[in-house]
Chains A and B, each alone.
Chain A
Amino acid sequence: MTRYQLYKLIRRNDSLKDERHPMLEKNRFMKMLAIFMFLYYAAILVLMGVMLPMGFRGMYNGVSAFHVMDGLVLYLLMTDFWMRFMLQETPAQRGRPYALLPIRRSFLMHVYLFSSGFSLGNLFWGFLLVPFGLLAVMPLLGWCALLRWLLAWWLLFIINGFCYLYVRTLISRHILWVLLPAAIHAALLFIMLWPEENILDIPLTEMMYQLTLGNVLYYLAIAALLAILYWANYRLQMTMVYNEVAQKEEVEMKHTTEMSYLNRYGALGEYLKLEMKMRMRNKTIRLQFLTLLGMMILLSGLLYFTDIYDNGFMKSFICLYDYVGLGMTMLISIMCHEGNYIDGLMSRRESILQLLYAKFYFNSVVLLLPFCLLIPLMIIGKISVWMNLGYLFFTAGVLYPICFQMAVYNKETLPLNQKLTSKQGNWVQQLVSIMMLFLPIGVEKVFTLLLGNPWGFVMLAVLGIVGLSLHQWWLRNIYDRFMLRRHVNMEGFRASR
């Protein structure tokens, strides 16, 4: 077999891996949704690409629209960088199935680095840049300049992709590496936003202009940077692939937690421990939790220290998001992680009922976290006490019962400790997510309209307290319905493991 044939074969296996992913294969809706979402975002970018030239044209006196766009290059690259976390795997992860086959590891790594670095995904921003360039670059500088301008952007996205691959691989070694891009991006944002004048604006615009004009020196510099990043990635990935194969995970635990304070709750206490350990000891879940916590702190901090979100809707939305975020992420996919050991759970009497109780109590206690986080905002008067209490009780007593319904219908196992790429959830999960974010605001508005302030939030609290007091009833109801569907669900969990 020639190297080219081998390359084609590996690429074919990769596309089959995506096409036959258990979450997609059995779910026609997911396929349609994926296509729809792609087209939706592409359409938004095209629309922006058509509108922005007009908007940018009059922004600065005598400055062409494409120069304004070029000045935004770092913002676009930063957005692109963080979006890649949802969509792109590292070569070390993908090379694992071939590790023991008679294929040179270096060849395999080149295949993956090349296909990752130069993937079609890098062209997605073309939906924005092509119409923009047609309207803003071509009329001023002609077709050749347009092509060079687009080429320059494409090369920058490729460089960004290699930076991402490097960082992502480091993060798979230790989560704290996420601080590296966060610090660099924060520093860049600080430099660009803090001083009166953005000192990076002119050098960046000039760089893009020279690339558009076809200045060979600039292209050589870009090529050199690409080569360095490729080489650095190659070295790192080659080291990492051994770790992936050997799964050099922390084998010996430094300390195990007894959580003896939960012993007094008997069997329920044991399920509470299980719930807590699941979050502490599994990378994917821990990362989700920490990311959301970070988001909550960031949004609340923005609300506290700045006035950018001072309008009524945003204050309400941020307050609600703080409450809903943590629970929503875990509870929308309720039971999906348990799919990994569902057979064991199902061979114990009423274990699922106890588990549901534990999940409800744990997630309700977790709500104290946003409550405390929002106290400073209550003190400075940015949000009202009733808003805080209303969302607290409504989340626990009304939104959680809605979320817990997913326990009856979820039947796809989610990995506990592996990176999950492109997890979108099924349509019911998406619907419940949307409902959780907008139902409380809708209900509050209706009651405020009918009864005036602060009765909207008071009613949220009242409805929540009613839901809380009925939790034993609705949890039992969910359990009974789960048991009726147990065979279908277990089959789904097994098939997607």
Chain B
Amino acid sequence: MDITIENLKKSFGEKVAVNIDGFQIKSGEMLGLVGNNGAGKSTLFRLMLDLIKADTGRVLMGDTDVSTTEDWKDWTGAYIDESFLIDYLTPDEYLQFIARISGRSDEELQSFLADFEHFMAGEVVGQKKLIRNLSAGNKQKLGIVAAMLLHPQVLILDEPFNFLDPSSQNAIKHLLTQYNQTAGATILVSSHNLQHTVDICPRIALLEHGVIIRDIANQNGEAIAELENYFEV
């Protein structure tokens, strides 16, 4: 699914959060979004998911303007923060809820979860804990799994490596790369972890003050030098 951003602008008072004249992400592409705090990464994702209203411009998924119809929700999975989780459910109930409202059977859900066993490390499903009582890392894992549950054609994850232990960070990198290759899904990932982003994303956009200032090709991990230079790491 192609994603096209056209003349997209969003301000909060005087502060311009996002200001992108034009940007296109090709179907099946895996894009990393990097930038300093307050650069507008989360705001851009929220605009793409129609969670906030753009001042001007639009986001197209295929030919669908996300602000005019709900069709795109059928093929899009996303996890931005805890406001995606219903914290008085257990993880199993939450995943079952997402699966069932999307018309998936319990068998399909179980078979899907089998692929994530290593990632969840036995600490997410099968627990008699409410989501509100999970650790930040386990909430993050649950959000990511729930976002991928419906085999979306477009997957948007905001800072997916946050709160995760090193082995889970590696596991999610592997899962995302594999999913991108097998399902041909368009994946957008924002992160402050330059190395992880470079490891999995063949294309990286550098966002500052709401503007995409660099669009870096990263077929062989060559973007790391440019990014480290920019962030003065």
Contact = CB atoms under 8 A, between A and B. Distances in A.
Q: Do A and B come from one complex?
A: yes
Interface string B61-99: 000000000110110101011011111111011001110
A387 B220 CA distance: 78
A286 to B, nearest CB: 11
B70 A349 contact: yes
A340 B83 contact: yes
A253 B130 CA distance: 7
Interface residues of B, number: 35
Interface stretch (A40-48, A154-162, A277-285): A277-285
A256 B128 contact: yes
A412 to B, nearest CB: 15
A267 interface: yes
Nearest to A282: B88
A349 B100 contact: no
Given A270-B100, A343-B51, A349-B70, A253 B128 contact: yes
B132 interface: yes
A251 interface: yes
Interface stretch (A136-144, A444-452, A486-494): A486-494
Interface string B121-132: 000000011101
Contact of A349 (B74, B78, B84): B74
A274 B83 contact: no
A417 B83 CA distance: 15
- Looking at chain A's contact residues, the main secondary structure is helix
Given A349-B74, A487-B53, A274 B86 contact: yes
Interface residues of A, number: 35
Interface string A335-379: 000001111101111110010000000000000000000000000
B99 to A, nearest CB: 9
Contacts of B51: 343, 346-347, 490
Contact of B76 (A273, A347, A487): A347
Given A253-B128, A343-B81, A350 B86 contact: no
Given A256-B93, A348-B101, A340 B129 contact: no
A59 B217 CA distance: 92
A243 to B, nearest CB: 15
Given A253-B128, A349-B73, A277 B87 contact: no
A497 B87 contact: no
B83 A354 contact: no
A345 to B, nearest CB: 8
B83 A341 contact: yes
A347 B128 contact: no
B52 A490 contact: yes
A481 to B, nearest CB: 15
B178 interface: no
A-B pairs with lowest CB-CB distance, top 10: A487-B53, A344-B84, A281-B88, A349-B73, A343-B83, A253-B128, A267-B101, A349-B70, A251-B133, A270-B100
19 contacts: A251-B129, A252-B129, A267-B100, A270-B100, A274-B89, A277-B88, A281-B88, A341-B83, A341-B84, A343-B84, A344-B84, A344-B85, A347-B84, A348-B73, A349-B74, A350-B70, A491-B52, A494-B83, A497-B83
Interface of A: 249, 251-254, 256, 266-267, 270-271, 273-274, 277-278, 281-282, 340-344, 346-351, 354, 416-417, 487, 490-491, 494, 497
